């Protein structure tokens, strides 16, 4: 056990103290603080701070008097509407080109068939949607006014209905828009985190093992410590270093969001994050790390030189990429049979099960079964990996996946 912790400390310590680790972590931290503050930084550099975009309204309608004035008088809203002298569209466009206005809105037709033409840079469809909305509201106000409704009647027309969603099954849950988006982003983030963890830490483990093999220090080490203990020491050690890296990044994201003061980002970190989702995420990251880490250590032990690591971990990388693709596609269809079935496959479980938990509902029994499969397979994979690792660390020669495994098994065979 002592040797296990010595290896953990050695592996994690070497990594954390290495310049590459310090610099990459620092860079990530700075980058994330910068990114979370990007909107306010951009605002600082663009001169017209906080001003609503100006829209010139050209009224070319027949007998719809005062629509431009009514738009201009709407105080609250995202735009600053300005009534432009009637029918002078060309002049208004010219003015907009000279940057006197940001947009030009031309209204034509009559009240029954109101037509709006919106002139902009062509890249702001959200703006046009908002303007459309404003025009619609003003038109409704004009019409109801004309029909002579009093305020009470108007209130009745516009009072919102109360709309409740209820689950069909007992004890079921209904996702609100808020929880949906919360889950959506968390799943998205986790799928990427797992992908990153698998790729970077997996190849770190494999590289570390292969480096010790190629420098031939491995034989000396495994004469003092059981290779299996050493393998787990390495997996845990690199996991710890990785945790520190992730914590630094998470910390940076939180600090960055507080500096920025952006409501949206703050919301993600405070109200929107569901604790149970985070617990599931951590659990799945850790289990996924063991599944992929065990295989990575095994693959690292099968090669003789550090340069061969990339070739050796290719299959693992493919699995991770496939899992990433499936989960990105599955984000919109979490309840399909395809996703449900694949979530039982240990190499896909971390991403797909989390996707199902986050985006839909997974019955408790299914959750227990999937977690059991994941845990059992993590243990089995590591047992097999340990066996191959034990033989593999003493093996030198050209890398071949099939022969390597065969040879490693032969080396660790007791009876013949």
Q: Summarize as ranges the residues that interact with another protein (CB under 8 A).
A: 2-3, 6-7, 10, 14, 212, 215-226, 229, 394, 410-416
Least distance from C-beta 246 to another protein, angstroms? 25
Least distance from C-beta 397 to another protein, angstroms? 13
Least distance from C-beta 181 to another protein, angstroms? 47
| Comparison of 179 and 226: residue with beta carbon closer to another protein | 226
| Comparison of 78 and 217: residue with beta carbon closer to another protein | 217
Least distance from C-beta 335 to another protein, angstroms? 50
| Comparison of 83 and 412: residue with beta carbon closer to another protein | 412
| Comparison of 179 and 229: residue with beta carbon closer to another protein | 229
Measured in degrees and rounded to the nearest 5, phi and psi for residue 142 equal -60, -45
Least distance from C-beta 45 to another protein, angstroms? 44
Least distance from C-beta 289 to another protein, angstroms? 24
| Comparison of 217 and 368: residue with beta carbon closer to another protein | 217
| Comparison of 173 and 219: residue with beta carbon closer to another protein | 219
């Amino acid at each position: 056990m002592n040797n296990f912790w010595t290896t953990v400390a050695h592996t994690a310590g070497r990594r954390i103290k290495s310049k590459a680790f310090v610099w990459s972590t620092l860079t990530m931290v700075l980058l994330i603080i910068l990114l979370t503050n990007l909107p306010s930084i951009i605002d600082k550099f663009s001169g017209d701070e906080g001003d609503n975009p100006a829209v010139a309204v050209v009224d070319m309608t027949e007998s719809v008097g005062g629509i431009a004035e009514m738009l201009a008088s709407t105080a609250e809203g995202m735009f600053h509407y300005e009534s432009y002298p009637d029918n002078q569209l060309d002049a208004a466009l010219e003015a907009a080109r000279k940057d006197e206005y940001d947009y030009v809105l031309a209204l034509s037709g009559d009240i029954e068939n109101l037509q709006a033409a919106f002139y902009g840079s062509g890249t702001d469809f959200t703006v046009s949607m908002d303007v459309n909305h404003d025009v619609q509201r003003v038109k409704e106000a004009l019409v109801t006014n004309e029909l002579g409704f009093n305020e009470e009647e108007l209130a009745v027309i516009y009072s919102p209905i109360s709309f409740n969603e209820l689950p069909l099954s007992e004890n079921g849950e209904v996702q609100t828009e808020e929880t949906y988006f919360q889950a959506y982003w968390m799943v998205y983030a986790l799928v990427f985190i797992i992908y990153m963890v698998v790729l970077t830490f997996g190849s770190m483990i494999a590289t570390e093992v292969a480096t010790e093999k190629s420098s031939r220090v491995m034989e000396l080490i495994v004469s003092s410590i059981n290779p299996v203990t050493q393998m787990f020491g390495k997996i845990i050690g690199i996991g710890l270093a990785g945790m520190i890296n992730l914590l630094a990044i998470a910390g940076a994201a939180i600090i960055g969001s507080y500096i920025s003061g952006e409501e949206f980002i703050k919301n993600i970190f405070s109200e929107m994050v569901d604790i149970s989702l985070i617990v599931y995420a951590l659990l799945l990251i850790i289990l996924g790390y063991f599944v992929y880490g065990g295989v990575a250590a095994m693959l690292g032990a099968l090669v003789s030189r550090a340069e061969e690591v990339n070739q050796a971990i290719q299959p693992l990388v493919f699995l991770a990429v496939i899992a990433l693709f499936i989960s990105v596609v599955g984000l919109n269809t979490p309840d399909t049979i395809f996703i449900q079935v694949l979530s039982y496959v240990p190499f896909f479980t971390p991403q797909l099960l989390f996707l199902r938990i986050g985006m839909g509902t997974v019955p408790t029994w299914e959750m227990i079964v999937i977690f059991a499969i994941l845990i059992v397979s993590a243990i089995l994979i590591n047992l097999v990996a340990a066996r191959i690792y034990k033989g593999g660390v003493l093996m030198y020669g050209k890398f071949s996946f099939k022969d390597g495994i065969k040879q490693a098994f032969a080396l660790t065979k007791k009876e013949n």
